[in-house]
Amino acid sequence: MTVVALVPTFVVSALFLVLIAASDNPWAFGLVLPAGFHLSGCVGDWHVVGLMRRQPPGTAVEDTRDGMILHRS
């Protein structure tokens, strides 16, 4: 679940970085704002990972429509 929660942070941020760095277009800098919005949205994912890391080993995580359920074993 940790990987699933954090992949968007790294993959999409890397994509923004490559697009900004590789572009010869001076307007590519305009992608910084959408990249910042994306990263601000990823804060919730990092919070969920922090909550999961504080659980005892063996705790299963169920991803639901409204959030998550932690099943301690």
Q: Are 35 and 20 in contact (CB under 8 A)?
A: yes
pLDDT at 73 > cutoff 80: no
Beta strands in the chain (DSSP E): 60-64, 67-71
**Is pLDDT of 2 > 80?**
yes
Q: Where are the domains of the chain?
A: 2-71
Beta strand 67-71 pairing with 60-64: antiparallel
Global pTM value: 0.72
Instruction: For 15-56, write each residue's pLDDT tens digit.
Output: 999 998 888 888 888 899 999 999 999 999 999 899 999 999
Which residues make beta-bridge pairs with 44? none
